[in-house]
């Protein structure tokens, strides 16, 4: 099946610094990637939809200036958490959509645990 990698798997940073998370589709081209966030005991919440070569579409309530998304190629999307604060500590996970067979199936990375101290 399709493989999506995510790096790093965990990161600890100090308040006020920025953190970049990478999401790569390893064996297929993904024109669309998604970024989700999960708080403890809650469901995966979509933050933004990232389309290759265009601006990301953010969900209501997600600050686009705080969570910068770049989708510069068909296999790579990045999420940068700028000026991170402790309340940004969470689990971030990406997915890449494979529309090759019209199924709109999403393949997920393993996620990144961010802790802001």
Q: How far is the CB of 46 from other proteins (least distance, A)?
A: 6
Nearer to other proteins, 53 or 61 (CB): 61
Give me the residue label for tokens 């296999």: 75
Nearer to other proteins, 25 or 78 (CB): 25
Residues making contact with other proteins (CB under 8 A)? 1, 4, 34, 36, 41-46, 49, 93, 103-111
Cα separation of 12 and 87, whole Å? 13
Cα separation of 1 and 28, whole Å? 10
Encoded tokens for 6: 């995510």
Collapsed DSSP state (helix, strand, coil) of residue 87: helix
Nearer to other proteins, 5 or 82 (CB): 5
Q: How far is the CB of 98 from other proteins (least distance, A)?
A: 10
């Amino acid at each position: 099946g399709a493989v999506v990698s995510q790096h790093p798997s965990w990161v600890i940073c100090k308040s006020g610094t920025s953190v970049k998370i990478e999401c790569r589709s390893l064996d297929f081209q993904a024109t669309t990637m998604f970024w989700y966030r999960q708080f403890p005991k809650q469901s995966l919440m979509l933050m933004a939809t990232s389309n290759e070569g265009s601006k990301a579409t953010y969900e209501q309530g997600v600050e686009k200036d705080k969570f910068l998304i770049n989708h510069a190629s068909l296999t790579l999307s990045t999420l940068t958490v700028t000026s991170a604060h402790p309340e940004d500590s969470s689990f971030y996970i990406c997915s890449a959509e494979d529309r090759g067979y019209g199924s709109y199936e999403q393949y997920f990375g393993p996620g990144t645990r961010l802790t802001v101290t």
